[in-house]
A = this chain, B = another copy of it.
Amino acid sequence: MNLRAPVTLLDVAQRAGVSVATASRVLNGGDRVPRPELQERVRAAADALGYTPNAQAQALAKSSTNVVGILVHDIEDPYFAAIANGVMRAADERNLLVMLASTFRDAEREIAYLASLRAQRARAAVMIGSRRTDAESLARTASEVGSFLNSGAGLALVSQSGMPAHTIEPDNRAGAAELARSLAGLGWRKFGILGGPEALATARDRRDGFLAGLADSGLEPVAVEYGDFTRDGGYAAAEELLDRGADVDCLFAVNDVMAVGAMSALRARGIDVPGRLGVAGFDDIATLRDVWPGLTTVRLPLEQMGRRALELAIEGGEPSVETFKAEVVLRESTARA
Contacts and interface: CB of A to CB of B under 8 A. Distances in A.
A53 B100 contact: no
Contacts of A286: 76
Contact of A85 (B76, B285, B287): B76
Interface in A1-45: 1-6
B65 A56 contact: yes
Interface string A286-297: 111011100000
Contact of A60 (B4, B60, B67, B267): B60
Contacts of A247: none
A292 to B, nearest CB: 5
Nearest to A60: B56
Nearest to A66: B116
Given A92-B109, A97-B120, A292-B291, A60 B54 contact: yes
A319 B36 CA distance: 43
Contacts of A4: 150-152
Interface string A82-110: 10110011001000011111101000010
Interface stretch (A134-142, A164-172, A207-215, A258-266): A258-266
A120 B66 CA distance: 11
Contacts of A60: 54, 56-57, 60
Interface string A231-256: 10000000000000000000000000
Contacts of A53: 119
A50 interface: yes
Contacts of A63: 6
Contacts of A75: 75, 81, 84-85, 88
Contact of A3 (B78, B81, B150): B150
Contacts of A308: none
Nearest to A260: B290
> How many copies are assembled?
2
Interface in A44-78: 50, 52-57, 59-60, 63, 65, 67, 70, 74-76, 78
A315 to B, nearest CB: 17
A101 B91 CA distance: 10
Contacts of A116: 55, 97
A12 to B, nearest CB: 14
A325 B245 CA distance: 44
A323 interface: no
A307 interface: no
Contacts of A147: 50, 52
Contacts of A118: 52
The listed residue with most B CB atoms (<10 A of its CB), out of A84, A99, A152, A290, is A290
Given A109-B92, A231-B290, A261-B290, A99 B102 contact: no
A163 interface: no
Given A6-B63, A97-B101, 5 more contacts: A67-B99, A76-B85, A92-B101, A98-B99, A98-B100
19 contacts: A1-B150, A4-B152, A53-B119, A54-B60, A56-B57, A56-B59, A56-B60, A56-B120, A76-B85, A78-B81, A88-B102, A89-B104, A92-B102, A92-B109, A97-B99, A97-B116, A261-B290, A267-B292, A287-B287
